[in-house]
Amino acid sequence: MNVFLRCCARMLAVILLLCFANAPRAQAQDQRHVVSVDELSKDAARPAEARQAHEAALRQLFSSEQAQQALRSAGIDYRKVDQAVGGLSDDDLARLAERSRQMQNSFAAGRAGSLSDRDLLIIIIIAVLVIALVAVLH
């Protein structure tokens, strides 16, 4: 019986040794899939940062003197447009912001002093879209 107990004790020791020998490897594998809190925070902040940039692009367009003039000539209140920008969906905001950036780039390319009727019309259309989209969504 004494030999049987020694044999069982050795087998138990070998089993425990094998279990604990694999534990550090398993932990290392688990740690490769762990995402840090900083990475999660950055990922969570990206949509908000993008939204702020899109809102800023639209507001920059609408606050320009040329756009203010176009809005006044169409009877559109700038404050109403400015308020509506914050109520746009992320997708609509991104599309309109891209269009406003294109317009601002064309202004910066040398036509800043004089806007064509087409440019003024585009500004008015974007403003009306902003107001209409927010009215429909709310």
Both 76 and 110 in one domain: the answer is yes
Q: Is residue 112 part of a domain?
A: yes
- The structure's pTM equals 0.61
Task: Kindly state whether residues 104 and 73 are assigned to the same domain.
Answer: yes
Q: Using one digit for the tens of pLDDT, what is the confidence trace for 11-25?
A: 766 675 565 666 555
What is the tens place of the pLDDT at every residue in 74-129?
888 888 888 888 888 899 889 889 988 888 887 777 655 566 777 777 888 888 88
* Residue 17 located in a structural domain: yes
For the chain, give the secondary structure using H, E and C: CHHHHHHHHHHHHHHHHHHHHHHHHHHHHHHHCCCCHHHHHHHHHHHHHHHHHHHHHHHHHHHCHHHHHHHHHHCCCHHHHHHHHCCCCHHHHHHHHHHHHHHHHHHHHHHCCCCCHHHHHHHHHHHHHHHHHHHHHC
Q: Is residue 28 located within the same domain as residue 53?
A: no
**In a shared domain, residues 66 and 107:** yes
Q: Domain total for the chain?
A: 2
